[in-house]
Amino acid sequence: MTSILTNLFDGVAYGMLLFVLACGLAVTLGLMNFVNLAHGAFAMAGGYVCMLLVNKSGWPFFAALPLAFVSAAVIGVLLERTLYRHLYTRSHLDQVLFSIGLTFMSVAAVDYFMGSSRVFINLPDALQGQFDFFGVGIGRYRLMIIVICGLLTVALQLILAKTRFGSRLRAAVDDPRAASGLGINVPQVFAFTFAFGCGLAGLGGALSAEILGLDPYFPLKFMIYFLIVVTVGGSSSITGPFLASLLLGIGDVAGKYYVPKMGPFVIYTMMIVILIWRPNGLFGRTAAR
Amino acid sequence: MSVRHKMLSWAATAAAVASLAAVAPAGAQDAVKIGLILPMTGGQASTGKQIENAIKLYMQQKGDTVAGKKIEVIVKDDGAVPDKTKTAAQELIVNDKVNFIAGFGVTPAALAAAPLATQAKIPEVVMAAGTSIITERSPYIVRTSFTLAQSANIIGDWAAKNGIKKVATLTSDYAPGNDALNFFKERFTAGGGEIVEEVKVPLQNPDFAPFLQRMKDAKPDALYVFVPAGQGGNFMKQYAERGLDKAGIKVIGPGDVTDDDLLNNMGDAVLGTVTAHLYSAAHPSAMNKDFVAAYKKAFGSRPGFMAVSGYDGIHLIYEALKKTNGDTNGDKLIEAMKGMKWESPRGPISIDPETRDIVQNIYIRKVEKVDGELYNVEFATFEAVKDSGKTKK
């Protein structure tokens, strides 16, 4: 019984992590209709910035996390203004080719400057180890992930649904021409959204270094996972990818625990079954764009 | 435009040819060329870098001339992808006319080059890959690294004799991982031990947590682990996070999991881990102390077992050339290498004249803190261990 709860806890933490990493992609893909395969590169950038600040400059971990967000967002906005902007109106194939090229360049660049071996972020002692909660082993670090990611999810949902910026963004996506006719600065809204998505990825990258491992191949290794989250969740809202992440996280952990021989396949089997059942994802729009 | 373009490219070609012609006569006749094929990029890049560093260091120390011939090393990156290894080996043999091919970060890479070594009749010096079968694939293969059977067998014996009764195994699901598992299991169960849980983890594994939870619930005396060198750090972190160290479950295994390259960053959870391996940077010999100091000075990091394998590999090439008096005939070189014995930073080693594989001491080591840094401290030695993957036949 207790091991079931421990697994559930681990699964939720893993799912939350996937969500923070992938939700930026859900935003760019779903709301802006742009296929950005280089999403993982921003996550990696955030992870490395956090690592450098904590390990080399002695920053406290919790102070470095926001910086990971900011730096990834700044890189995002720079690239958006210089490169991505020109591809919004191009075909999806062009976008894929462009962003995968960018991914390979980021891998090579990080390999060159930081070396290819895996790096770790020095964590404060308070975040290490496990404690017992009525017999259920709770990892402190994973608990922190759940708290941070849970708060983020609520905040995101509120911003999108309740704020003026959220409605502008939705308007800009649904009909850019009408939106700009109404005085909404569409390119600015897109740039800001893109940067925010990159920032979230950067934060996710910093959080995941401890659990998924951080090396220059991060963007390639986890691209599949991000895409699974977005396809399974459907890309029209935040709730879809969120539930999909949780489902995949729990499924992956449980699969590896109970049927270790089949472990790595569970996540893909789930994806296939869900997509056969609902081809547009759990919360996808029924009409194709 | 196009005329100008053509002229430019002609000019460039002419310049290139001229510069080639200028260089060629100087080195062509009395040079010995070594084609070094290593993973310099990708997940195995640390292996490639260590070997390249060690070879540079050796050539700095011993000079680049042997038996009157200048040694020239050409490095090619294969990213540990066997197809690329093969292309690289072909280019080196056909275009560069190398006298040796060497390196090989992973088993499939070493195997991919084997038929080429046979056809070209040149020695293939394997400096990293560790599966038993490699040296059987060509009469021109010599190995200066190790085989997994050597350390997996020894740790199996040791565990059975030292009060470890129940073991859970966690090994990466690929050829060396399976070697590590089977050779351990064979000796450990023969010694009366019991395997209570056996998990093979995918090679590209992001998160060990669920597997480790399963291990913890199986309540073994020890956890036998083999993961490729780069993953050791991640594994030890999660091992500690999950509290397996506090549950009294020790980690044992071949030394890849506590590779010197990464050991010092693994944190205190790794203390007390017992492994069997060929080399520790803490090996207490004068030669090793000099080697470690020189390596640290040159490259700013600690040498691992891959560095030592590279260092010994180039030494073997130098000594073979000395013995043949600079003759680069492949058969003569292989003959010269067979049975060669020398003192390496890891201890006394030799090349088995029958299998062309390495014979070396295997040490049982425990991770301890020495001067504030984590080291594998050797406390027992099994002398002159051959590769049991072959001696069995």
Report the gap between the CA of B377 and the closest CA in chain A (Å).
24
Task: Check CB contact under 8 Å for B210 and A117.
Answer: no
Of residues B199, B204, B230, nearest to A260 (C-beta): B199
**Which range scores top for mean pLDDT: A58-62, A186-190, A253-257, B98-102?**
B98-102
Cβ-Cβ contacts under 8 Å, A130 against chain B: 241-243
Q: What is the pLDDT of residue A284?
A: 63
Please state the length of chain B. 393
Q: What is the pLDDT of residue B19?
A: 47
Tokens of A24: 């930026």
Q: What is the pLDDT of residues A77-122, one digit of tens each?
A: 999 889 888 888 888 899 999 999 999 999 989 988 887 777 888 8
Of residues B46, B242, B265, nearest to A120 (C-beta): B265
Cβ-Cβ contacts under 8 Å, B80 against chain A: none
Identify the closest residue of chain A to B48 by CA–CA distance: A116
Measured over the CA atoms of residue B330, residue B333, residue B339 and residue B343, the dihedral's sign is: negative
Q: What is the pLDDT of residue B118?
A: 93
Q: What percent of chain B has pLDDT over 90?
A: 49
Residue to mutate among A7, A12, A118, A252, with most B CBs inside 10 A, is A118
Task: Check CB contact under 8 Å for A217 and B42.
Answer: yes
Cβ partners under 8 Å of residue A254, min gap 6? A7, A11, A266, B210
Which amino acid, residue A35? V
Q: What is the pLDDT of residue A286?
A: 46
CA R_g for chain B: 22
Cβ-Cβ contacts under 8 Å, B233 against chain A: 118, 120
Q: Is A128 helix (H, G, I), strand (E, B) or coil?
A: coil
Task: Check CB contact under 8 Å for A3 and B234.
Answer: no
Residue to mutate among B38, B200, B213, with most A CBs inside 10 A, is B213
Q: What is the pLDDT of residue A236?
A: 67
Inter-chain CB pairs, A–B, below 8 Å: 94
Q: What is the pLDDT of residues B229-255, one digit of tens each?
A: 667 878 888 888 888 888 888 899 998
Better-predicted residue by pLDDT, B266 or B322 = B322
Q: What is the pLDDT of residues B212-227, one digit of tens each?
A: 888 888 889 999 999 8
Instruction: Collect all residues from A whose CB is shorter than 8 A from any CB in B.
Output: 3, 6-7, 10, 14, 108, 111, 115-118, 120, 128-130, 137, 139, 141, 210-213, 215, 217, 221-222, 225, 252-257, 260-261, 263-264
pLDDT band at A289 (very low <50, low <70, confident <90, very high): very low
Would you say A196 and A24 are in contact if contact means Cβ atoms under 8 Å apart? yes
Nearest to B134 by CA among B114, B149, B105: B114
Tell me A129's DSSP state: S
What whole-number distance in Å separates Cα of residue B363 and Cα of residue B160? Answer: 16
Of residues B210, B234, B262, nearest to A257 (C-beta): B210
Q: What is the largest CA-CA distance in chain B?
A: 82
The HSE-up count of residue B89 (CA atoms within 13 Å, CB side) is 30
* CA-to-CA dists, residue B60 to A157, B101, B298, B307, B340, angstroms: 62, 20, 10, 15, 23
Task: Check CB contact under 8 Å for A256 and B217.
Answer: no
Q: What is the pLDDT of residues A19-57, one digit of tens each?
A: 988 888 887 887 777 888 999 999 999 999 999 999 888
Would you say B248 and B239 are in contact if contact means Cβ atoms under 8 Å apart? no
What whole-number distance in Å separates Cα of residue B273 and Cα of residue B151? Answer: 15
What whole-number distance in Å separates Cα of residue B160 and Cα of residue B76? Answer: 43
Cβ-Cβ contacts under 8 Å, A137 against chain B: 213, 242-243
Task: Check CB contact under 8 Å for A260 and B217.
Answer: no
Would you say B352 and B359 are in contact if contact means Cβ atoms under 8 Å apart? yes
Report the gap between the CA of B243 and the closest CA in chain A (Å).
6
Report the gap between the CA of A21 and the closest CA in chain B (Å).
14
DSSP string, B119-158: HHT--EEESS---GGGGGS-TTEEESS--HHHHHHHHHHH
Point out the least confidently predicted range of A60-64, A166-170, B267-271.
Answer: B267-271
Cβ-Cβ contacts under 8 Å, A225 against chain B: 206
What whole-number distance in Å separates Cα of residue B142 and Cα of residue B145? Answer: 10
Identify the closest residue of chain B to A107 by CA–CA distance: B42
Of residues A128, A139, A213, nearest to B234 (C-beta): A213
Better-predicted residue by pLDDT, B262 or B295 = B295
Would you say B101 and B124 are in contact if contact means Cβ atoms under 8 Å apart? yes
Q: Which residue has the tokens 């005329």?
A: B3
Would you say A119 and A44 are in contact if contact means Cβ atoms under 8 Å apart? no
Report the gap between the CA of A114 and the closest CA in chain B (Å).
12
Task: Check CB contact under 8 Å for B241 and A129.
Answer: yes
Of residues A217, A221, A260, nearest to B214 (C-beta): A260
Q: What is the pLDDT of residue A147?
A: 92
Task: Check CB contact under 8 Å for B43 and A116.
Answer: yes
Cβ-Cβ contacts under 8 Å, B230 against chain A: 117-118, 215
Tokens of A212: 């998924």
What whole-number distance in Å separates Cα of residue B220 and Cα of residue B166? Answer: 5
Of residues B200, B201, B262, nearest to A117 (C-beta): B262
Identify the closest residue of chain A to B247 by CA–CA distance: A130
Identify the closest residue of chain B to A127 by CA–CA distance: B241
Would you say B215 and B237 are in contact if contact means Cβ atoms under 8 Å apart? no
Identify the closest residue of chain B to A257 by CA–CA distance: B210
